[in-house]
């Protein structure tokens, strides 16, 4: 017998992968774990008859000859089939997209960093010219959309979009997908969100704005990830982490959400024994106090291995400057020569102002062109330190609508970050 199995706490990528693999392998039985995400459970209660899934308890594990694992690569992510991990005669096939180190040894491996595991399987189905019903196409596209945040997470690849396009051509229903993926947000979730918002904890740490939260819950509450995501958006921080202490099960569930260009939440959660992607992750910590978990979490966030690119990596230097007595005419010539849109004004080693092309446009008559730059420069110079994060620099540029930020250390200007430096970082361009 052949069986396909996805990770437990089945999400739509896992469910779609399970279904796609059972089509691809023909003979294989699709084994549905008992722990399902709430939206998957709701979907299945409507579509029970369409998908012939088997429960693990109806499978005779002894007679399994081939195990096909989808959307997972570690034994502890699978439901209660530990016995199979000890078999040496078992043929294992693995289809996965997670970056975590694997501990399942398979004879056939299709493991690629992809937005969704479903993409890998859909590619195979398309290649083998399978005809998909609109219901199947809809489920598969739901899987891809959920794991890629509707094709917006940084983990999304061109291949995810190609697979999505193929599924849309096979009449996947976007209206149905929207309804399926609508987050679980009811009175209970609202109460949790409002409790968190009543005392939002914002901290500055390693150049990040972090939102932290702690709360007690009783037993499993669905939709917490969505609540944390809303919390992050509302209090407007780079990343938000909430520790939910489950009093009933004596454990802490840590859920993190981060803006795409800042902290890698998945990497932080892996240090806590959990996992996830750059923008979203979680970890379950058993029998620990929320205080202890928070300390551990801060250590993980502060882990030097996770340090993102800093201002000192991004800034330009040496910094060109003009003296305060230079005439506006000469300043214009300097800007033309350098091809800059602004330059700092220094008196010796001291930063006294900043002048931009925008200020030049205010100069009307010839007399004023002969005036010194100090009459026109802005004296209120907003600066960065080399240890600031790029996210912070971006925020400052946008907030003050300015083109450049000098980087100051011990009173000396050691570099400058311009809007174009920030754009280079934002779009992952290679600086020349
Ligand atoms: Mn997945």
What residue segments make up the domains of the chain, in order of their start?
Answer: 2-181, 187-306, 312-426
Q: State pLDDT tens for residues 153-171.
A: 888 999 999 999 999 999 9
Kindly state the percentage of the chain with pLDDT values over 70.
96
With respect to CATH, is domain 187-306 assigned 3.20.20.70? no
Cα 156 to Cα 280: distance, rounded to the nearest angstrom:
13
pLDDT band at 14 (very low <50, low <70, confident <90, very high): very high
Q: How far is the CA of 134 from the centre of ligand 1 (A)?
A: 21
Say what the pLDDT of residue 432 is. Answer: 40
**What is Dmax (Cα atoms) for the chain?**
95
CATH classification of 2-181, choosing from 3.90.1150.10, 1.20.58.340, 3.90.1640.10, 3.90.105.20?
A: 3.90.1640.10
Query: Ligand 1 center to residue 64 CA distance, Å?
Result: 24
Task: Taking residues 234-242, report their average pLDDT.
Answer: 94
CA of 313 to the centre of ligand 1 (A): 33
Q: What is the DSSP string of 291-317?
A: HHHHHHHHHHHH-GGG---BHHHH-B-
Bridge partners for 412 per DSSP: 409
99 CA distance to ligand 1 middle (Å)? 11
Determine the average pLDDT of the residues in 107-123: 96
For the segment 330-385, what is each residue's pLDDT rounded down to a tens digit?
A: 999 999 998 888 999 999 989 999 999 988 888 888 889 999 999 999 999 999 99
Rounded Cα gap, residues 47 and 136, in angstroms: 11
DSSP state for residue 101 in the 8-state scheme: P
pLDDT at position 424 over 80: no
What's the 72 CA to ligand 1 centre distance in angstroms? 8
> For 200-215, what is the mean pLDDT?
90
- Averaged pLDDT for residues 409-414: 90
List, edge to edge, every strand of the sheet that includes 350-356: 321-322, 342-347, 350-356
Q: Which of 127-141, 166-180, 392-406 has the lowest mean pLDDT?
A: 392-406
Task: Using the predicted structure, report yes or no on whether residue 262 has a pLDDT greater than 70.
Answer: no
CATH code of domain 312-426 = 3.10.580.10
Helix (H, G, I), strand (E, B) or coil at 335: helix
Higher pLDDT, 164 or 102: 164
Cα 147 to ligand 1 centre (Å): 6
Confidence band of 7 (pLDDT split at 50, 70, 90): very high
pLDDT in tens, 30-47: 999 999 988 898 889 888
Output the CA 345–ligand 1 centroid distance in Å.
53
Q: How confident is the model at residue 306 (pLDDT cuts 50, 70, 90)?
A: low
What is the pTM (predicted TM-score) of this model? Answer: 0.64
What's the 249 CA to ligand 1 centre distance in angstroms? 26
- Please, what is the average pLDDT of the chain? 90
Question: What distance in angstroms lies between residue 15's CA and the mean position of ligand 1's atoms?
Answer: 9
Question: Which range among 14-28, 172-186, 258-272, 414-428 has the greatest average pLDDT?
Answer: 14-28
């Amino acid at each position: 017998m052949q069986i396909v199995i996805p990770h437990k706490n089945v999400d739509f990528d896992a469910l779609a992968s399970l279904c796609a693999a059972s089509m691809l392998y023909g003979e294989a039985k699709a084994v549905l774990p008992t722990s399902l995400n709430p939206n998957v459970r709701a979907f299945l209660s409507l579509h029970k008859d369409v998908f012939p899934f088997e429960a693990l308890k109806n499978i005779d594990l002894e007679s399994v000859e081939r195990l096909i694992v989808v959307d997972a690569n570690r034994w502890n992510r699978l439901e209660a089939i530990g016995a199979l991990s000890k078999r040496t005669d078992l043929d294992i096939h693995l289809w996965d997209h997670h970056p975590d180190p694997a501990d399942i040894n398979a004879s056939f491996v299709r493991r690629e960093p992809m937005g969704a595991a479903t993409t890998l399987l859909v590619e195979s189905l398309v290649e083998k010219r399978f005809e998909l019903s609109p219901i199947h196409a809809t489920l598969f596209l739901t899987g891809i959309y959920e794991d890629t945040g509707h094709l917006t997470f940084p983990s999304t690849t061109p291949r995810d979009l190609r697979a999505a396009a193929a599924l849309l051509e096979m009449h996947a229903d976007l209206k149905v997908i929207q309804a399926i993926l609508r987050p679980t947000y009811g009175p209970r979730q609202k109460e949790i969100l409002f409790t968190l918002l009543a005392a939002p904890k914002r901290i500055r740490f390693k150049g990040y704005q972090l939102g932290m939260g702690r709360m007690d819950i009783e037993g499993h509450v669905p939709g917490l990830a969505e609540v944390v995501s809303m919390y992050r958006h509302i209090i407007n921080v780079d990343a938000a982490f909430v520790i939910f202490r489950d009093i009933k099960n004596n454990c802490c569930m840590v859920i993190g959400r981060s803006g795409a260009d800042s902290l890698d939440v998945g990497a932080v959660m892996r240090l806590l024994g959990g996992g996830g992607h750059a923008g979203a992750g979680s970890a379950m910590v058993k029998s620990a106090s929320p205080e202890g978990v928070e300390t551990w979490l801060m250590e993980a966030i502060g882990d030097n291995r996770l340090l993102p690119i800093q201002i000192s990596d991004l800034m330009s230097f040496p910094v060109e400057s003009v003296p305060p007595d230079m005439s506006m005419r000469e300043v214009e010539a300097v800007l033309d020569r350098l091809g800059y849109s602004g330059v700092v004004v220094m008196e010796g080693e001291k930063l006294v102002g900043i002048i931009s092309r925008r200020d030049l446009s205010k100069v009307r008559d010839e007399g004023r062109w002969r005036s010194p730059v100090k009459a026109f420069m802005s004296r209120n110079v907003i600066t960065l330190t080399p240890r600031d994060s790029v996210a912070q620099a971006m925020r400052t540029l946008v907030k003050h609508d300015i083109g450049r930020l000098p980087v100051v250390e011990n009173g000396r200007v050691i570099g400058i970050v311009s809007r174009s430096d920030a754009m280079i970082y934002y779009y992952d361009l290679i600086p020349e």
